[in-house]
Structure 1
């Protein structure tokens, strides 16, 4: 069952060091993937995304950490953790973390009180497979949702029809606004520019954000699927791993299929990570847990990748199953077992038949011996009648 994530801000509890780290806990969601981004602007920060963990309830959890190298910036700025979860149509900031002196910062001309606005592009899965792409405009850290307006436009001046915006109250008592705009896939691919204009009584003038597809040289992903290890240690679960690397831009979708059908069981996918190469590119890992019994049945598992740089339908699939060598070995083992049983039964039947025959011969031979003295006596009478 698809479950929307819950998000909690995590802040340090000890004395102020030379750098400051914040955390964003995303928990109780299903299935993967989930994306976590931080509003940091041009600050000198670093982020670390920890691997996905499976909870006892079967749901998932992950944590993202933001480290700010300048404690002064930490003290003045509001940091927002934005979470996207496509399976539950969640694409909004769920929590915000402020520095100790940022609760009432000096307002700027455009975004007083730390109000931030984001535009999120459509996922490749929605764009090329489901053919229902949407843009998302997020407004966070509003003290009130009253009087908010969100207006979408596009450079070509063609008409647009957005979905009604939704408001969500956050744990820090602020509000976030989510507005989505269905777009035509061809228009987005052709490079159309879209704008989201936000007005609010707290804003001295509207906030305008624009978005178009990312510029840069397109690089199709390389996909590799790794088989489970041979030694399982008596476990009834196996893990398949899909490595997707050297792709650009970073927008990518990953699905797992079982015999050609969408596999809804447990799998996890990391966020795109940058590679240390001369050309900007990304890589990710996706893991799928399967049962040992399913693997033994020669079930086919497929890692499907959706990315705009791929030709044709923009998808690439790599399939794995129990190798022919393993199947042939298993069949030979079964044939050898059957042969051994047949030979054993054949030898047993031969032994049984020989034993029965021996008993019969012995009985006939004994009978003949018992009758031999009488026969010799009669023969002697014929030769010597007067004896």
Structure 2
């Protein structure tokens, strides 16, 4: 194998607010041996262990540090790999003061489908990694109007013994398009202060998507399922919706998948995605028409762009 620099990932237990505290660094996909790992901290009483590398070609190893002090706030894992000239520092917080079990909150904007087609946009406030739903309050405020409106709230218990809460707030189409701001505040007795997340319409120069639809590859000719691919690129902001139609009838979401937006290469601020639809060999042979429909705010009214493909174009 040729020289390959490592990837470094900090490792931390779910609960790190009691002594002793053990943290680690995972160093993987490097070649050749060795890597050098040094731990830096304000803890006077810490011990380190570097484990032997595994792997016949690309290597993987771990290093861990243990401290008996609960006052140590940060640890830095410094990894160097002389053959590739690699040098990286990963800092890990030693204790988890402030938020129980790493509670975090995410705000999700309205989808273009809800905003421009269904005319029923909504904001979603997602609270994750809660121990339970008890005593958790989620409050919405609007920049120029209080209260923000009536939100629908639900909770879900997960297999890893954590709970998530979803709060959905309907918003006015005109308010959102004109840049109205919204805040979601999460409060819990174990939090020293509420977790507050704010959201508004993305700022920046708008760019309409380019849409290309590709037929099944020749390698699928004898298979029972054929794959159609829709490439959507160079759009901004990243909020976008994709639907597929067969002979102008909507195809259920369960039959197609779309990637999350990815940043395009180069100096621009555009994004791209792929959407993949599986169709039967029979439907493709019958010259059914399949349409990739894209909804994005930078497109002309009605904010949609469609591209259609069939086995025999034009028929």
Pick the TM interval, shorter chain.
0.5 to 0.7
Query: Partner residue of 1:301?
Result: 290
Per-residue displacement from partner, 1:51-109 (whole Å, max 9, x unpaired)? Answer: xxxxxxxxxxxxxxxxxxx988xxx99xxxxxxxxxxxxxxxxxxxxxxx98x93313x
Q: How big is the shift at 1:298?
A: 2.6
2:107 counterpart of 1:106: no
Query: Following the alignment from structure 1 to structure 2, what is the Cα–Cα distance between the partners of residues 236 and 144?
Result: 46
Q: Secondary structure at the match of 1:125?
A: helix
- Partner Cα separation in structure 2 for residue 266 and residue 222 of structure 1: 23
Match of 1:236 in 2: 224
Equivalent pair of 1:20/1:71 in contact (CA under 8 Å): no
Q: Deviations over 1:238-281 (max 9, x none)?
A: 22111101111111111110111101262222221111121111
- Shift of the 71–268 alpha-carbon distance from structure 1 to 2, 3 Å rule, reads farther
Per the TM alignment, residue 152 of structure 1 is displaced from its structure 2 partner at its CA by 0.8
Listed as ranges, the gaps of 5+ residues in structure 1 are 1-10, 22-69, 78-100, 328-387
Query: What per-residue deviation string (whole Å, max 9, x for no partner) do you get for residues 201-257 of structure 1?
Result: 111222221100111111110000112345654333322111101111111111110
Q: Is 1:274 the counterpart of 2:263 in the alignment?
A: yes
Structure 2-normalised TM-score?
Answer: 0.67
**Root mean square deviation of aligned Cα:** 3.1
Paired residue total: 238
291 and 113 in structure 1: CA distance in 2 versus 1, 3 angstrom threshold: closer
CA contact (8 A) 1:260 1:302 kept: yes
Q: Is the 8 A contact 1:138 1:177 kept in 2?
A: yes
CA distance in 2, matches of 1:204, 1:210: 19
Over 3 Å counting, the alpha-carbon distance change for 1:19 and 1:124 in structure 2 is farther
Per the alignment, do residues 18 and 151 of structure 1 end up closer, same or farther by CA in structure 2, a change over 3 Å counting? closer
Contact 1:19 1:71 in 2 (8 A): no
Tell me, yes or no, if the aligned pair for 2:211 and 2:230 is still in contact at 8 Å.
yes
Structure 1 equivalent of residue 203 of structure 2: 215
> Judging changes above 3 Å, is the alpha-carbon distance between structure 1 residues 183 and 324 closer, same or farther for their aligned structure 2 residues?
closer
Higher helix share: 1
**Match among 275, 282, 305 for residue 286 of structure 1:** 275
Contact residue 191 and residue 212 of structure 1 kept, 8 A: yes
Q: Cα 1:174–1:280, aligned 2, differ >3 Å: closer, same or farther?
A: same
Aligned match of 2:186:
198
TM-score using structure 1 length: 0.55
The within-5 A match list for 1:98-137 is 105-108=95-98, 111-137=99-125
> Secondary structure of the equivalent of 1:147?
coil
Q: Map 1:146-161 onto structure 2 (within 5 A).
A: 146-161=134-149
Question: By how many angstroms is 1:170 displaced?
Answer: 2.6
Contiguous gaps of at least 5 residues in structure 2 = 1-10, 13-22, 30-62, 66-72, 75-91
Q: CA deviation at 1:180?
A: 0.8
Q: What is the Cα deviation at residue 306 of structure 1?
A: 0.9
The answer (yes or no) to whether the contact 1:162–1:179 under 8 Å persists in 2 is: no
Give the 3 Å change call, closer, same or farther, for CA 216–290 of structure 1 in structure 2: same
Deviation sequence 1:172-216 (CA, Å, 0-9, x none): 323222111011122111110001112211112222211001111
